């Protein structure tokens, strides 16, 4: 497993000693909203609504999934990339379906507020200079919406929305994930008409955002890291808060004794209840899970297990205020094999739960994103070997 670099695309290409490259086109950003699919989705798996786990097991397609969002038991989205580029999959309560899209780039984040309001965000290129990419679902089709790209390039890593006129996309400004050049944090806001770049406090050593969550128009959180570099050392956690007027940096916890750390994702339940997850690199090179809790006054580090020697947390969600789930990957030796990791917070402590690793000769199993519909209806998405998508489901008693 590579050193903690704080945002998933750069780190996981080399994760567990494996480099997996998927060719992506270099499309330039559109100048106007452009419909990208009006065709019906391609059915990937069929199942009765009560058998979501069976459908998840059958829904694998080439590629990888980085994020998942759920509106209801009959409406969930998962996004990522396949060998040709953008990948979007949808759950309608009975089956997962793949939407045919123009190959505009790749997706890292998705947010769904209703059956007719969802966003998918990412970038246009993987190893070369990237442009920001934002697409919107209106209940009928996915449409590309122009989003500013700072000079020198940029991309989105996450998105959150509280209404049709209030959405946030975060990421980084600078070259794409295949380059070692310094990058800067990027935040953009959707006001119902257009995306606009928001002022962010300058970071002397650079940095990036990899997660965002919003509770209301006056309460949002963005998390990531400072000091991003190609070696994966020296970074520190980064948290900023939106109060309705401006984004302000808030003191963020790092793992005690760690030489580097980052936060990958955040979920907000109430004004005094939010969680962020990530990982930390220790002086001996080991990777430890990192969880942080906001109590309304400050963020504090909460002890969490690190099974298997090395482990990273890459996604987090909540089905209610004391029922938090986090996902990622774990490795016994730091160089594979990597296996899925699922942890649960019951209001007292974090506990590792058995998590699925489908049969096959795969070296890498990773869960990047997780979303809750209810306490007994939760989806997590990721990849097997970076070659095939992975979707798993919690039915209230087990993951499968």
C-alpha span between 207 and 340 (Å, rounded) = 27
For residue 399, tell me if it sits in a domain.
no
Which has more confidence, 122 or 175?
122
Instruction: Give me the domain span that covers residue 380.
Output: 8-16+63-394
CATH number at residue 316: 2.120.10.70
pLDDT tens-digit readout, 16-54: 332 232 333 333 333 334 333 333 444 444 333 455 766
For residue 50, tell me if it sits in a domain.
no
- Check whether 231 has a pLDDT greater than 80: no
What is the structure's pLDDT at 55? 65
For residue 362, tell me if it sits in a domain.
yes
Band of residue 3 on the pLDDT scale cut at 50, 70, 90: very low
| Residue carrying structure tokens 């504090």 | 300
pLDDT tens-digit readout, 332-384: 765 668 999 999 999 999 999 999 988 776 678 999 999 999 999 999 999 99
For residue 43, tell me if it sits in a domain.
no
C-alpha span between 158 and 169 (Å, rounded) = 6
Helix or strand holding residue 315 (H, E):
strand 310-320
Angle at 327 between CA 309 and CA 276, to 5 degrees: 100
Helix or strand holding residue 377 (H, E):
strand 377-384
Band of residue 102 on the pLDDT scale cut at 50, 70, 90: confident
**Domain total of the chain:** 1
SS3 for 152-188, per residue?
Answer: CCEEEEEEEEEECCEEEEEEEECCCCCCCCCCEEEEE
For residue 135, tell me if it sits in a domain.
yes
For residue 26, tell me if it sits in a domain.
no
Nearest to 294 by CA among 270, 312, 327: 270
For residue 326, tell me if it sits in a domain.
yes
Band of residue 208 on the pLDDT scale cut at 50, 70, 90: very high
Which has more confidence, 335 or 172?
172
Within 10 angstroms of residue 374's Cβ, the number of other Cβ atoms is: 14
Pairing of strands 96-99, 166-173: unpaired
What is the structure's pLDDT at 72? 97
Among 97-101, 135-139, 293-297, name the one with the lowest average pLDDT: 97-101
In three-state secondary structure terms, 73 is coil
Specify whether the CB–CB gap between 95 and 75 falls below 8 A. Answer: no
What is the structure's pLDDT at 321? 82
For residue 32, tell me if it sits in a domain.
no
Sign of CA dihedral 229, 236, 211, 59: positive
- Mean per-residue pLDDT for 161-168? 98
Sign of CA dihedral 327, 263, 129, 234: negative
What is the structure's pLDDT at 204? 84
In three-state secondary structure terms, 244 is coil
- Mean per-residue pLDDT for 193-204? 93
The token pair at 234 is 């020296």
């Amino acid at each position: 497993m590579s050193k903690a670099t704080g945002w998933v695309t750069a780190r996981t290409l080399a994760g567990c000693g494996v480099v997996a490259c998927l060719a992506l086109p270099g499309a330039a950003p559109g100048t106007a909203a452009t419909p990208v699919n009006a065709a019906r989705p391609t059915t990937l798996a069929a199942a009765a609504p009560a058998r979501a786990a069976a459908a998840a097991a059958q829904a694998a397609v080439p590629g990888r999934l980085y994020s998942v969002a759920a509106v209801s038991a009959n409406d969930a989205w998962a996004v990522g990339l396949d060998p040709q580029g953008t990948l979007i999959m949808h759950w309608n309560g009975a089956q997962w379906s793949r939407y045919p899209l123009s190959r505009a780039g790749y997706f890292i984040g998705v947010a769904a507020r209703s059956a007719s309001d969802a966003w998918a965000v990412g970038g246009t290129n993987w190893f070369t200079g990237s442009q920001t990419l934002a697409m919107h679902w209106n209940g009928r089709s996915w449409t590309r919406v122009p989003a500013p790209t700072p000079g020198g390039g940029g991309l989105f890593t996450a998105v959150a929305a509280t209404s049709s006129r209030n959405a946030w996309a975060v990421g980084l400004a600078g070259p794409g994930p295949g380059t070692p050049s310094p990058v800067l944090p990027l935040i953009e806001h959707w006001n119902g008409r257009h995306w606009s770049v928001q002022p962010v406090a300058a970071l002397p050593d650079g940095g990036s955002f990899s997660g965002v969550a919003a509770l209301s128009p006056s309460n949002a959180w963005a998390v990531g890291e400072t000091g991003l570099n190609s070696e994966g050392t020296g970074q520190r956690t980064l948290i900023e808060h939106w109060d309705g007027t401006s984004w302000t940096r808030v003191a963020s916890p790092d793992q005690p004794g760690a030489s580097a750390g980052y936060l990958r994702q955040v979920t907000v339940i109430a004004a005094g209840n939010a969680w962020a997850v990530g990982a930390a690199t220790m002086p001996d090179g080991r990777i430890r899970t990192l969880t942080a809790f906001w109590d309304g006054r400050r963020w504090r580090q909460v002890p969490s297990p690190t099974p298997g020697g090395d482990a990273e947390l890459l996604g987090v969600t909540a089905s209610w205020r004391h029922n938090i789930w986090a996902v990622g990957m774990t490795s016994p030796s730091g160089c594979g094999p990597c296996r899925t990791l699922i942890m649960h917070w019951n209001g007292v402590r974090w506990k590792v739960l058995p998590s699925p690793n489908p049969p096959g000769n795969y070296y890498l199993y990773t869960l990047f994103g997780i979303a809750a519909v209810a306490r007994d209806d939760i989806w997590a998405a990721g990849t097997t070997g970076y070659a095939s998508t992975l979707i798993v489901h919690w039915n209230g008693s087990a993951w499968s």
